[in-house]
């Protein structure tokens, strides 16, 4: 009987935790304190090769880490302030969940390598709108994740600004609260039956 109660409680805790695992709107408090540092380390590195030469990029990635990632995108360090602006009303619009899309295009380098190696398959310069996950760290909304934009999507003129609380995209937050409450209620009912 005790084992059954323990398993029920464990499943319930997992359900409750899962419904609250990811922010569903941009510029909410982050659950990951070093998200911006990780984003910067992966995507806005100093000393990037100036050319699209495969050998230079392989050496760069091998020396700076990232051989385990088959696709990587690198933004120019000079664009750091404009990249941060994507997570503001001035530079970004709401896209979906915790993602914002830049109002302007950015030029960046995308490197594709063989999985598990640093062998470079392609190095391409791209110019697209950035799609970034934006979360609040130290009272500032900052990018924490670079989302690919393979279909070259553009911002919706009717979408609210990245930090706009009046946006029509606020509904998911309400839905997440109800999912959490339903999960908690299910857990209580299951626990009481045991």
Q: Where are the domains of the chain?
A: 2-193
Q: The pTM is what?
A: 0.75
Structure tokens at 165: 């609380």
Nearest to 81 by CA among 32, 40, 128: 40
Q: pLDDT tens, 138-168?
A: 899 999 999 999 999 999 999 999 998 754 4
> 20: buried, middle or exposed (CB in 10 Å: 19+, 13-18, 0-12)?
middle
Confidence of residue 184 (pLDDT cuts 50, 70, 90): low
Q: pLDDT tens, 123-138?
A: 999 999 999 999 999 8
For residues 128 and 106, is the Cβ–Cβ distance under 8 A? yes
Q: What mean pLDDT value characterizes the chain?
A: 83
Q: Which residue has the higher pLDDT, 185 or 188?
A: 188
Structure tokens at 62: 């091998």
Sheet strands (E) in the chain: 28-29, 71-75, 92-96, 99-113, 120-137, 140-147
Structure tokens at 121: 């398959």
Per-residue pLDDT, averaged over 94-100, amounts to 96
How far is C-alpha 68 from the chain's CA centre? 18
The architecture of the domain spanning 2-193 is: Roll (3.10)
Q: pLDDT tens, 40-53?
A: 999 999 999 999 99
Nearest to 86 by CA among 101, 107, 105: 101
Long-range Cβ pairs for the range 48-57 (8 Å, 24+): 48/74, 48/76, 48/77, 48/109, 52/109, 52/123, 52/124, 52/125, 53/123, 54/120, 54/123, 55/120, 57/109, 57/111, 57/120, 57/123
């Amino acid at each position: 009987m005790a084992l059954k109660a323990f398993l029920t409680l464990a499943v319930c805790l997992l359900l409750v935790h899962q419904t609250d695992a990811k922010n569903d709107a941009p510029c909410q408090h982050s659950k990951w304190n070093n998200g911006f540092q990780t984003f910067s380390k992966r995507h806005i590195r100093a000393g990037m090769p100036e050319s699209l030469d495969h050998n230079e990029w392989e050496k760069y990635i091998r020396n700076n880490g990232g051989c385990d990632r088959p696709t990587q995108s690198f933004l120019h360090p000079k664009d750091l302030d404009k990249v941060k602006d994507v997570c503001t009303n001035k530079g970004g619009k709401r896209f979906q969940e915790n993602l914002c899309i830049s109002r302007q295009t950015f030029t960046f380098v995308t490197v594709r390598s063989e999985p598990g190696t640093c062998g470079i398959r392609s190095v391409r310069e791209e110019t697209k709108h950035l799609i970034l996950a934006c979360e609040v760290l130290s009272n500032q909304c900052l990018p924490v994740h670079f989302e690919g934009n393979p279909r070259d999507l553009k911002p919706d003129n009717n979408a609210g600004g990245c930090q706009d609380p009046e946006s029509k995209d606020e509904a998911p937050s309400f839905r997440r609260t109800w999912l959490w409450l339903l999960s908690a209620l299910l857990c209580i009912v299951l626990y009481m039956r045991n």
